[in-house]
Chains A and B, each alone.
Chain A
Amino acid sequence: MTAPASRHPIRWGEALDAVGAWLLALVWIAPLLFAAWASLHPPGQALDFSLSSPLTFENYRTAWAAAPWLTYALNTLLLVTFTLAGQLVLCTLAGYAFARFRFPGREALFVLVLLQLFILPEVLIVENYAMVSRLALLDSIAGMGLPYVASAFGIFLLRQAFKSVPLELEEAARVEGCSWLGVLWRVYVPASRPVYLAYALVSVATHWNNFLWPLIVTNSADTRPLTVGLSLFGAPESGVNISIISAATLMVVAPLMIAFLIFQRQFIQAFLRVGIR
């Protein structure tokens, strides 16, 4: 990195690296760029890439009018809010129990929780569907979110975070008369704020993008999230052309993309800190 430049007058290695890195980056965002191009041109001219073809927002207008996107977006928003709120409460309590309380059966239970990192809700779709139907939660936001609320990953993450909080902090709070829950709220939660932020970002991104389970649980436009709505919209049977599908796709990914562009650093940090989803 800091090798004297005189030894390599032109650093071919580094130049090649740069070109390679840029090419790969271009290839990687090419699908998005092509979709943006197609969405801004009349369907017939979507693929002749000449700069002289006219720009149009007609595709966006058609796509917007063809499905209840606002309802879908609201459902997605409700879904990620419901899921995240539930996860934060339940995983905090459970993480606290695993980190700071000693009781018989704790280790065995923790192994059972860890096992859920591998036994994903996606795999149990058949019986989870039966369960949601028994609870009369089919076609509801709660039905979509509940299987993910007791997140094994959240529990694991918060347990680790709470374990790294110095015990002296807790003792000081106890001396001042804090109750158990008071200690949790005043000491542990504030001390783990970065972990909460990271987990929240990852959870929102995951559930914003989740598809299979919402597809199974929902059957009306009133509860469908964006991903399911988009999949119905793009189905070949619907006879919609590629320019309009591109427009709809970009509309759906826009909120998350814009959030990502603004918070890119925090986003990547969050994924770094959190590891698995």
Chain B
Amino acid sequence: MPETGAPTRVLDPIARLQRRRHALYGWMLLAPALTLLTLFAFLPTAATFWASLHSRGTARRPSVFNGLENYLDLIHDPNFWTVVGNNLLYAGVTIPLSIALALVMALWADARLPLRGFVRGAYFTPTILPMIAAANLWLFFYTPGLGVIDSFTGLFGLPPVNWLGQPQTALWAIIVVTVWKEAGFFMIFYLAALQTIPPDLKEAAQVEGAGRFTYLRRVLLPLLMPTTAFIFINALINSVKLIDHLFILTKGGPDNATKLVLYWIWEMAFSYFDPARATALTVLVLLVLGGVAVFQFTIVEKRIHYR
């Protein structure tokens, strides 16, 4: 029987048999998914931990167990701190900026404006483009001297800037592309949440003489809190995951100024063929993501009532 009030008092043999059959069916249904999860999630995770404790193997010297050597290597590498710092700045700017923009977009896309369909479509469009295509489009903006930005600033007599070629601006140029790509996606969730808020709330606030910003701060933002939390977690994961545009725009340069953690993992493993250090770095990322998961399941889900 399906999971209705299962008899717990007495287990006669038939019920026990049925229960066992039930369990068997459950496992059988799960088997295909579990097999793939084992192959591409559980085993690789374990293998990553294991490999991170071994030295880089070469043709002459096979890899040997070397404890935490790879980790020590990493934290003594100044590049490690550059990359971590880059990623922290990347996350620290893209997350709040894209969330704030998403909220503004959602408020506008929800308001009764002329051309609302166009506005919604325009905000959402970057979401369905591949990041690689987005990077190509932005390359056209950033090209020094010839690009859209320099053509525009040139009208005012400003000198051309190599946005992607100098360490001071490159990461910011990358951040702009990410925010452009993400904000419209996050807007969708705010838009959905806004539509569940009863309109009489706004009327009540107006009757009470509350201005727009009071209404936003005192009524809307608290009501949108669960959505914000959900978007925040997504944005956090994306700040690790979204690196495709680096392959087109900067390749992590100049001078590591735009190198992010996942890009560095890729580079170590597939350009420098140094899987030992790549796995150590992967373990650190897994720990961070695991921390995010624990945070989500223990704090966010408890404090904020979903569904």
Contact = CB atoms under 8 A, between A and B. Distances in A.
Partners in one complex: yes
Interface of A: 1-3, 13-14, 17-18, 20-22, 24-26, 28-32, 34-35, 38, 47, 49, 89-91, 93-94, 96-98, 100-104, 106, 109, 112-131, 135, 146-147, 149-150, 152, 155, 167, 170, 180, 205, 208-212, 215-216, 226-227, 230-231, 234-235, 242, 245-246, 248-249, 252-253, 256-257, 260-261, 264, 267-268, 271-272, 275-276
A34 B206 CA distance: 43
B199 interface: yes
Interface in B93-131: 104-105, 108-109, 111-115, 117-131
A212 B290 contact: no
9 contacts: A32-B137, A34-B148, A96-B29, A101-B29, A121-B41, A150-B34, A152-B37, A264-B120, A275-B230
* B115, B130, B265 — most chain A CB neighbours (10 Å): B130
A126 B275 contact: yes
B32 A89 contact: yes
B282 interface: yes
Contacts of A245: 136, 139-140
Given A17-B113, A264-B121, A209 B129 contact: yes
Interface string B10-41: 00000000010011111101101111110111
B22 A102 contact: yes
B115 A106 contact: no
Given A14-B113, A120-B237, A125-B265, 13 more contacts: A17-B111, A25-B118, A26-B122, A93-B33, A101-B2, A101-B29, A120-B240, A130-B44, A211-B130, A248-B136, A253-B133, A271-B185, A272-B191
Given A34-B140, A275-B189, A94 B128 contact: no
A94 B293 contact: no
B29 A22 contact: no
B141 A212 contact: no
B108 A17 contact: yes
Interface of B: 2-4, 6, 19, 22-27, 29-30, 32-37, 39-45, 47-48, 51, 104-105, 108-109, 111-115, 117-134, 136-141, 143, 146-148, 151, 180, 184-185, 188-189, 191-192, 199, 202-203, 206, 212, 230, 234, 237, 240-241, 243-244, 247-248, 262, 265-266, 269-270, 275, 278-279, 282, 285-286, 289-290, 292-293, 296-297
Contacts of A25: 118-119, 122-123
Contacts of A103: 22-24, 26-27
B23 A234 contact: no
B37 A130 contact: no
Contacts of B243: 212
A127 B266 contact: no
A250 B39 CA distance: 37
Given A21-B108, A180-B25, A124 B48 contact: yes
Q: Which 3 A-B pairs have the closest CB atoms?
A: A101-B26, A103-B23, A127-B44
B30 A94 contact: yes
Nearest to A102: B3
A222 to B, nearest CB: 20
Contacts of B244: 211-212, 227
Contacts of B47: 127, 130-131
Contacts of A129: 269-270
B138 A31 contact: yes
A117 B293 contact: yes
Nearest to B19: A102
B192 A211 contact: no
A124 B45 contact: yes
